[in-house]
Structure 1
Amino acid sequence: MNGPMNSLTGTRALARLALRLDRVRLTVWVLGLAVMPMATAANYFKLYPTEADLRAVSAVFTNPSLVALSGPLFDLSIGGLTAWKIGATEFVLVGLMSLLTVVRHTRAEEETGRLELIRATVVGRHAPLTAALLVTALANLAIAVLTALGLMATGLPTVGSVAFGLATGLVGILFAAVAAAVAQLTEGARTASGIASAVLGGTYLLRAVGDTGPAWLSWLSPTGWALHLRPYADERWWVAALFIGFAVLFTAAGYALAGRRDVGAGLLPERPGPATASPGLRSPLALAWRLHRGLLLGWTVALAVTGAVLGGAAAGFGDLQSPNQQLADVLSRMGGRTDLTDAFLAAIFGITGMVAAAYTVQATLRLRQEESSGRVEALLATGIGRLRWAASHLVFALLGTALLLAVAGVAGGLVYGAQVHDVGGQVGRLLEAALVQVPAAWVLAGFGTALIGLAPRLSALAWGALILSVLLFELGALFGLSQWVLDVTPFAHVPKLPGSAFTVTPMLWLTLIAVALGAAGLAGLRRRDMPVA
């Protein structure tokens, strides 16, 4: 040691370790998030080659339903259209990357016990948190720079490109700071990620409501701030101060809270249970329910709100008449070849299906979390078989997904039906549109189970499959990708309801694929060594 030890001693070494551990994961995030805006801009140059083409469809981009999804269009130009189309998605994804990275290198390291071993060396109290924030900030800086350079390379104005890159990086840094504070509250990484993700999702919904209703609500949302920085439309650089101020505030809170708790503990300690378990906890299924119920309840509320907001947004879509055949084709590919309202409803419930699939993946990977933490060893030592233990968790991943989508469908049907004065008819239609997404989400559960059983160290790739599905759904139709590329995601095979004809064949195939993947994973889990760190 070159000097006296302080609270930041060891930060550089921990940052290098985090970069090494995340070298593949962060590279994929950075390149993917940097390429999306550039590819969107390049495609819009082809889709709307002249200003007349843009003016011909200007009414489309100001439709309240699309504003709820993507935000307001501040300038009718290729740059403004690019920021409008990809901005909200880009900001949510960069926020997700940032909060997951911070939680993984702070709370998750504490939960597994690795941080306690590291802290036994010459490492200061605040070094792990500082290293996590530095690595995340570096990733966001790379995204911001590459995004701006990529947009400029397509021919978009330099100032607007820098503004969009800056907005993207600032959103990521802010949610890294939010995660730094939240990670101090709970004892579990899963809970910390869930709380931070709920904050992220709440900001998106708050922005959606504000952009179509009381405008001041958008100014309560960081994703709203990013849009209101207004890339390519008389940029408001002062909005960056909001991000910087709140990032400093949450970071300071994270450091202050970290100094008030023990390593491995949270400021909100888990309530101690009784000395002996009740009869209701004397089975793997009962224990799994205890572990999953908080997550399931939180997701149920989130999907109810999501369904209601998106269902309400659909009401204004019936007035949309697009004279641009290419745009109509995009909507048709996303939501079926019927009228635009049904196409929009099918598209938003496709999005809802992928939102629910995030719970599916999270609940499935609980198996891996229980194994890596060492808790499964004590459970299996009681004579409970591996398959019985795994099935107790997977039942919540599968049935919980169906519950979430049913709630979203009913909520969307109630709100949309009330606006079109047909509650009874619309609840059934949108419930069906939501439930057809279930087998596609189950495929991700099967994929996650296969990874846990056959290649446990790669189990995080289940999140990669979900992210790929989101990107193909969001950009595949816009880019005119071949159908065989879109078919990579299970959600491409879901019947596009409402409006299109319901066909049971793809549902059966998706279910069979999910069963086959799950069976392969369970077979591998039964045979391999446990636990695998």
Structure 2
Amino acid sequence: MTVYFSGWQKLLRLNLRRDRWQILFWLIGIAGLSIAVAGAFPELFPTAQERQVMAETVKNPAMIAMIGPSSSLDNYTIGAMFGHEMTLFMAITTAVMMILLTARHTRGDEEDGRLEMIRALSVGRLAPLIAVLVEMLLISVLIMLTNGIGVGLLGIETMPMGASLLYGAALGSAGLVFTGVTAVFAQLAESKRGTVGFSLSFLGAAYLFRGFTDLNNESLSWLSPLSWVYKTEVFVTNSWFPIILSLVFSFILFGVSFYLNSIRDLEAGFIPQRSGKSHAGFLLKKPLGFSFRLVKTTLISWLVVMVVAGISYGSVFGDLENFFKSSDILTMLLPEKSNYSLTEQFMTVLMVILSILGTIPVLTVALKAYSEEKKSRVEQLFSKSVTRTKLLGAYLFIAFCTSIIMLIASVLSLYAASSSVMAEPIALSMMLKSGLAYLPAVWFVMGAGFLLVGWLPKWSGAVWFYLVFSFFVDYLGSLLDVPKVVKNLSVFSYIPRIPVDSFEWQPLLVITGLAVLLLIGGFIGYRNRDIAG
């Protein structure tokens, strides 16, 4: 049996070296967000009365479907509130990280031919897989320690160290579950894209199933591994049983993935890909149709995300007036000195969130050109009658259409959900004007992505940091008293928050003009640089 695993330690060190920066950024992001939110809650909700108002808000069926139920709503302490509102979403974030890393080192390495070279050396048949799973196990432990110790060291009375470690363990165990899920799908699917797609679909199905069963038959929600993270009732009853359940399920999945890996051929999968047409269609022969085919699944997934986000936010509009009136701290999130209702003011905050969220799929498309370049695929296109301008122009057109579709979808779903819970809903025309005003800002970030692809492709990922920075200063800037000079570095801060701010064309035209200049610069750089660069 040991011959099957020989050499896994060396592969583990190789994987850790390859992933060291990604792991560091993920750990800082996840633990940093947990610590920042936990540290802010005592100031956001300093009194029991304010916390009980929040408890009444999360009794909304829509909120239960979003974050799960809680047995602590009659005594909503800081710890109970944090555990109830943060555990599920942080577990989902951890799960996404694990899915991407696991798929990269299983199907990704196999698809790129790395695994074939490794298997030609003196390593066991199962050594690559066990190296991946041990790496994910180590990451899960780091997630537990960084989140648990970090939150525990804040010294909040209702968040002791032991319960904080349980919070970290809930995140880490969720990561292990979806590591196992991805490892199994890596044996079933025939590509990395299929592995990621199946794994994320399982994550989405688990989330929707637990939301449905929490509303209709809570006992059935135990069938969803995502429900186990909040059934720990962290900072309330502190049950470790769901953690044990997660670990048992994870190791069962690990065993299944080992067995499937041992009986399948390299680069094969148990779920055969659908046979393609014998001849490519007209659109697939064109750069635009071919480029769209590469990102189609991603765009459909993000369209669903935007619709769900709009519905989720819109479903709580009916309770916002009383909720914001209960806390002076929360009103700092809203525009200053406004004669509009708190609901209308909060809508402008949501538009910032939705526009930044909608920028993610746009950037994904913009950076796809370099992603294909790194895999040495574009040379085959350029050997045909395809110019660099045509190829990059195809991605630009798709990204441009994506920006409009994503914002419209989120606004329409926000309106549909909010109108169902409000006696006097906000007009659809007002919501559309408020949301679509952010298109120039989205185009600016998109232009920055294309500029980096054209001139500094290896640094193109830096545009993601700018997007995260924009979210931080635009959403939490007022609450955390971020200096105005820092807030002005975000292009989203220049967009008028309609209807609170009067509509002005000038900033929108200037930002659009800058976006066009960035795009022109990106095309010039892409056309002239070494494509292997």
Residue in 1 that maps onto 2:300: 297
Deviation at 1:219, TM superposition (A): 4.5
Residue in 2 that maps onto 1:37: 34
The alignment partner of 1:6 has SS state of helix
The CA distance in 2 between the partners of 1:303 and 1:442, in whole Å, is 18
The CA distance in 2 between the partners of 1:445 and 1:459, in whole Å, is 11
Deviation at 1:249, TM superposition (A): 3.8
Task: Pick from 170, 174, 194 the counterpart of residue 171 of structure 1.
Answer: 174
Deviation at 1:230, TM superposition (A): 1.8
State the AA in 2 paired with 1:306.
Answer: A
Residue in 1 that maps onto 2:437: 436
Deviation at 1:70, TM superposition (A): 5.2
The CA distance in 1 between the partners of 2:487 and 2:87, in whole Å, is 22
State the AA in 2 paired with 1:398.
Answer: F
- Classify 1:514/1:265 alpha carbon distance in 2 versus 1 (closer, same or farther; 3 Å): farther
State the AA in 2 paired with 1:240.
Answer: I
Deviation at 1:145, TM superposition (A): 0.6
The CA distance in 1 between the partners of 2:265 and 2:444, in whole Å, is 40
Task: Pick from 394, 401, 419 the counterpart of residue 403 of structure 2.
Answer: 401
- Classify 1:484/1:140 alpha carbon distance in 2 versus 1 (closer, same or farther; 3 Å): farther
Deviation at 1:523, TM superposition (A): 2.5
Q: Is the 8 A contact 1:409 1:432 kept in 2?
A: no
The CA distance in 2 between the partners of 1:258 and 1:176, in whole Å, is 15
Q: Is the 8 A contact 1:8 1:123 kept in 2?
A: yes
Residue in 1 that maps onto 2:184: 181
Please, which moves more after superposition, 68-77 or 18-27? 68-77
Deviation at 1:385, TM superposition (A): 1.0
State the AA in 1 paired with 2:442.
Answer: A
The alignment partner of 1:479 has SS state of coil
The CA distance in 2 between the partners of 1:507 and 1:67, in whole Å, is 38
State the AA in 1 paired with 2:149.
Answer: L
Deviation at 1:205, TM superposition (A): 5.4
Q: Is the 8 A contact 2:65 2:215 kept in 1?
A: yes
- Classify 1:353/1:321 alpha carbon distance in 2 versus 1 (closer, same or farther; 3 Å): closer
1:97-116 matched pairs, under 5 angstroms: 97-116=97-116
Please, which moves more after superposition, 125-134 or 336-345? 336-345
Residue in 2 that maps onto 1:360: 362
- Classify 1:476/1:175 alpha carbon distance in 2 versus 1 (closer, same or farther; 3 Å): farther
Q: Is the 8 A contact 1:413 1:429 kept in 2?
A: no
The alignment partner of 2:385 has SS state of coil
Q: Is the 8 A contact 1:184 1:257 kept in 2?
A: yes
Q: Deviations over 1:30-69 (max 9, x none)?
A: 12322322233333344555xxx23344213431376666
- Classify 1:379/1:85 alpha carbon distance in 2 versus 1 (closer, same or farther; 3 Å): same
Q: Does 1:122 align with 2:122?
A: yes
CA RMSD of aligned residues (A): 3.3
Q: Is the 8 A contact 1:413 1:431 kept in 2?
A: no
Task: Pick from 347, 350, 363 the counterpart of residue 349 of structure 2.
Answer: 347
Task: Pick from 24, 47, 55 the counterpart of residue 27 of structure 1.
Answer: 24
The CA distance in 2 between the partners of 1:18 and 1:336, in whole Å, is 53
The CA distance in 2 between the partners of 1:209 and 1:364, in whole Å, is 36
State the AA in 2 paired with 1:172.
Answer: G
Residue in 2 that maps onto 1:306: 309
Q: Deviations over 1:481-526 (max 9, x none)?
A: 3344445444444443565544444433443443343333332222
Deviation at 1:168, TM superposition (A): 1.7
Q: Is the 8 A contact 2:333 2:349 kept in 1?
A: no
Residue in 1 that maps onto 2:228: 225
Residue in 2 that maps onto 1:196: 199
Q: Is the 8 A contact 2:358 2:403 kept in 1?
A: yes
Q: Is the 8 A contact 2:335 2:500 kept in 1?
A: no
Q: Does 1:147 align with 2:144?
A: no
Residue in 2 that maps onto 1:60: 54
The CA distance in 2 between the partners of 1:306 and 1:214, in whole Å, is 24
State the AA in 1 paired with 2:344.
Answer: D
Task: Pick from 302, 322, 327 the counterpart of residue 324 of structure 1.
Answer: 327
- Classify 1:250/1:489 alpha carbon distance in 2 versus 1 (closer, same or farther; 3 Å): farther
The CA distance in 1 between the partners of 2:507 and 2:532, in whole Å, is 37
Q: Deviations over 1:245-293 (max 9, x none)?
A: 3323433343344345433344334344445434333321122233333
Q: Does 1:17 align with 2:14?
A: yes
- Classify 1:439/1:286 alpha carbon distance in 2 versus 1 (closer, same or farther; 3 Å): same
The CA distance in 2 between the partners of 1:419 and 1:351, in whole Å, is 21
Deviation at 1:378, TM superposition (A): 1.0
Q: Is the 8 A contact 1:126 1:255 kept in 2?
A: yes
- Classify 1:240/1:507 alpha carbon distance in 2 versus 1 (closer, same or farther; 3 Å): farther
State the AA in 2 paired with 1:392.
Answer: A
State the AA in 1 paired with 2:441.
Answer: A
Deviation at 1:181, TM superposition (A): 2.5
Deviation at 1:143, TM superposition (A): 1.9
State the AA in 2 paired with 1:41.
Answer: A
Deviation at 1:381, TM superposition (A): 0.4
State the AA in 1 paired with 2:101.
Answer: T
Deviation at 1:377, TM superposition (A): 0.9
- Classify 1:520/1:172 alpha carbon distance in 2 versus 1 (closer, same or farther; 3 Å): farther
**Equivalenced residues, count:** 524
The alignment partner of 2:235 has SS state of coil
Deviation at 1:20, TM superposition (A): 1.0
- Classify 1:234/1:117 alpha carbon distance in 2 versus 1 (closer, same or farther; 3 Å): same
Q: Does 1:286 align with 2:283?
A: no
Deviation at 1:189, TM superposition (A): 2.8
The CA distance in 1 between the partners of 2:300 and 2:488, in whole Å, is 32
- Classify 1:76/1:511 alpha carbon distance in 2 versus 1 (closer, same or farther; 3 Å): same
Q: Is the 8 A contact 2:84 2:233 kept in 1?
A: no
- Classify 1:151/1:414 alpha carbon distance in 2 versus 1 (closer, same or farther; 3 Å): closer
- Classify 1:278/1:207 alpha carbon distance in 2 versus 1 (closer, same or farther; 3 Å): closer
Q: Deviations over 1:113-162 (max 9, x none)?
A: 22222222223333222222222221221121122222222113122211
1:466-477 matched pairs, under 5 angstroms: 466-470=467-471, 475-477=476-478
State the AA in 2 paired with 1:178.
Answer: V
Deviation at 1:380, TM superposition (A): 0.2
State the AA in 2 paired with 1:142.
Answer: L
The CA distance in 1 between the partners of 2:296 and 2:334, in whole Å, is 37
The CA distance in 2 between the partners of 1:264 and 1:90, in whole Å, is 33
- Classify 1:263/1:397 alpha carbon distance in 2 versus 1 (closer, same or farther; 3 Å): farther
Deviation at 1:478, TM superposition (A): 4.4
Q: Which runs of 5+ in 2 are unaligned?
A: none
- Classify 1:5/1:163 alpha carbon distance in 2 versus 1 (closer, same or farther; 3 Å): closer
Q: Does 1:158 align with 2:152?
A: no
Deviation at 1:462, TM superposition (A): 4.1
Deviation at 1:337, TM superposition (A): 7.9
Task: Pick from 402, 406, 413 the counterpart of residue 411 of structure 1.
Answer: 413
Q: Is the 8 A contact 1:292 1:396 kept in 2?
A: no
The alignment partner of 1:184 has SS state of helix
Deviation at 1:187, TM superposition (A): 3.8
Residue in 1 that maps onto 2:447: 446
- Classify 1:491/1:255 alpha carbon distance in 2 versus 1 (closer, same or farther; 3 Å): farther
The CA distance in 2 between the partners of 1:512 and 1:87, in whole Å, is 42
